[in-house]
Amino acid sequence: MDPDLATVADWIRKSYHVVALTGAGISTESGIPDFRGPQGLWTRNPELEKNAHISNYLTDKKVRVQSWKLRLESPAFSAEPNPAHHALVELERKGHLDTLITQNVDGLHLAAGSSPERLIEIHGTIHEVVCMSCGERAPMEKALVRVKAGEEDPPCRTCGGILKSATISFGQALIPEDIERSQLAAAACDLFLAIGSSLVVYPVAYLPEIALRAGARLVVFNEEATPYDHLADAVLRDRLGEILPRLSEQV
């Protein structure tokens, strides 16, 4: 039988360095669909996965036009943090969360109040755009105003290059400092919490393995099975918006 929530709370209290990795599953209860869960964007429309590849975005104007259109309709820009995001803020406030690594690009950990210096947004953020030619960054809000005004694929205002959300697409390298910081945190922790991630997107999906090799405990929080379940010290299948607040109360 899997250890229960009280046991996991006890592990958190007794650990010296706790690291959490969150995925799209922590934001589904804020109304942002994940990719691979039962109601996931790609589960329902596998065609959309194409947009997430950088080469398609850079070479195919149709893909860019569709991406901007989807951004206008995306629930991510009006979403609010849910009790699961707040529970991680509470864990940090109690001194039991050293580093929070998120694959999410929605900015909801920051909106909930997680400390920027403890947070690694390893796949970037949708709240900024970046020019693929000159590298200039600007607020997403301004680009969306241009799309609403009729620019289907707004170019960079400085150099005319292609603009993209400041997120890491498939085929794009992660920021070396971010992946290095994440790997160091995983190697130095004694408890690793994998929360709402299908744990199949690499290199982030190596992080639990790095923690396990370094001797840390691993706890997986996910309604569905993940490739790490058989290696985890505990697997908790409840909805994150219910279980994480109960956990942070017990710590």
Active site residues: 123
Pick the stretch among 97-105, 176-184, 185-193, 227-235 that binds ligand NAD (CB under 6 A). Answer: 97-105
87 sits near ligand NAD (criterion: CB under 6 A): no
**In this complex, which beta carbon is closest to ligand NAD, that of residue 2 or of residue 223?**
223
174 sits near ligand NAD (criterion: CB under 6 A): no
180 sits near ligand NAD (criterion: CB under 6 A): no
Query: Whole-number minimum distance, CB 171 to ligand NAD, in Å?
Result: 13
DSSP string, 197-243: --S-STTGGGHHHHHHHTT-EEEEE-SS--TTGGG-SEEE-S-HHHH
The residue count for binding ligand NAD (CB under 6 A) is 26
Q: Which two tokens stand for residue 218?
A: 């691993």
What is the distance between the alpha carbons of residues 82 and 36, in angstroms, rounded to a whole number? 20
Alpha helices in 30-82 (DSSP H): 41-44, 54-59, 61-73
Is the preceding peptide bond at 203 cis, omega within 30 degrees of 0? yes
178 sits near ligand NAD (criterion: CB under 6 A): no
Query: By the criterion CB under 6 A, which residues form the site for ligand NAD?
Result: 23-25, 27-29, 32, 34-37, 40, 103-106, 123, 196-198, 201, 222-224, 239-240
